[in-house]
Amino acid sequence: MIRRTACLIARGTDPYRNLAIEKHLMDTLPEETAILYLWQNSHTIVVGRNQNPWYECKVDAFLESGGRIVRRLSGGGAVYHDLGNLNFTFIVPKTEFDVPKQLSVIRLAVGSFGLEAYHSGRNDLLIGDRKFSGNAFYKAGHSAYHHGTLLINCDMGVLGSYLTANRSKLQAHGVQSVASRVVNLAALNPDVTVDALERELYRAFTAVYQHSPALLDEMMLDQRTLATITAQFADPDWIYPESLPYTFTVDERFPWGSVTVKLLVENGVIRHAKLFTDAMEAGLFTLLEQALTGCPYLISAINGRFHQKLELMRDQQLLQMAGDVSVLICGRIRALDRAQQDAGGDA
């Protein structure tokens, strides 16, 4: 049961520090407490835990424009942040993690401006047929967080210029570009501003959780710990994947998201495996990478490793996703083997 609530509004717009505050709040969350954290990043692209920035945006051009690229802890897809975008995070005990309840805070706050929002799919909030908020989730220890974006007056031209969304994903949504399927709240009601929405989110959080939130300031947090976590988020080794001479690549889009599998195979053994995906279930793909690394480059061995790694898993959705990845990899291996046999026959 939630017995206490608190609200913290970040002072600055540095994405690395803001994500550090989020993690620190989660790491130190008291029992029976829910926190609403509101924050903004200036000219930033945030990629999901398992994404490759080079696939998701025009990295060099964006950095040259003064932008910053950061990798978050949660899964999901890449998003653009500027000062026309407000970010929210609900930080709660795992036992109190309730996506519909958390989203009701957003819907109530937006509804105060006469805008009716609804939840679509696994992680979007829409008004009409256009998205104004994307959401993602992360759990660790005894705590969990649910965070997302709120487009208020974002520069859609910049958003569309630098993000390079997967073409098959856009086709699946029946749209031609990133910018064409999103909408600013201020375009629907000019009374929606960052300050006004922050006030309404505070009120909605109070109403939904039935407690008056204590107001926190980031200077109350351990500044040395924050500096350490900030440096971790800013580390290029965290943001950009290691460049390796992969010998095997296959990609596909499934109902749960897109995935690119890269393997480095030497002497019949998978020496390194990397799976890039915008799927929400970030932890699953770490397990699959572990299963593939060191595995013989054989269909039977790959299937055996996947089964061994996931045999205790009870979540049918995750098992289905893992099965999809296994079929994708093994299908590609068979196709490569056939092509090699055909080439040998032609010779």
Q: What is the CATH number of the domain that holds 208?
A: 3.30.930.10
In a shared domain, residues 18 and 130:
yes
In a shared domain, residues 52 and 123:
yes
pLDDT of residue 168: 47
In a shared domain, residues 76 and 216:
yes
In a shared domain, residues 9 and 108:
yes
pLDDT of residue 130: 93
In a shared domain, residues 226 and 275:
no
**Domain of 258, in residue numbers:** 248-346
Report strand pairing: 33-39 vs 4-9.
Answer: parallel
In a shared domain, residues 122 and 60:
yes
In a shared domain, residues 207 and 234:
yes
In a shared domain, residues 49 and 122:
yes
The phi, psi pair for 222, rounded to 5°, reads -70, 110
pLDDT of residue 180: 55
In a shared domain, residues 235 and 257:
no
In a shared domain, residues 276 and 323:
yes
The domain boundary residue, chosen from 239, 274, 306: 239
Give the separation between CA 38 and CA 167, rounded to whole angstroms.
Answer: 32
In a shared domain, residues 154 and 229:
yes
The domain boundary residue, chosen from 204, 239, 274: 239
Under a CB-based contact definition with an 8 Å cutoff, are residues 58 and 41 in contact?
A: no
Burial of residue 120, with CB atoms counted within 10 A of its CB: 0-12 exposed, 13-18 middle, 19 or more buried: exposed
In a shared domain, residues 189 and 87:
yes
Total number of domains in the chain: 2
pLDDT 10s per residue in the chain (347 long)?
999 999 999 999 999 999 999 999 999 999 999 999 999 999 999 999 999 999 999 999 999 999 999 999 999 999 999 999 999 999 999 999 999 999 999 999 999 999 999 998 778 999 999 999 999 999 999 999 999 999 999 999 998 899 986 554 444 443 344 555 899 999 999 999 999 999 999 999 999 999 999 999 999 999 999 999 999 999 999 999 999 999 999 999 999 999 999 999 999 999 999 999 999 998 999 999 999 999 999 999 999 999 888 877 778 889 999 999 999 999 999 999 998 888 766 55
The domain boundary residue, chosen from 239, 274, 303: 239
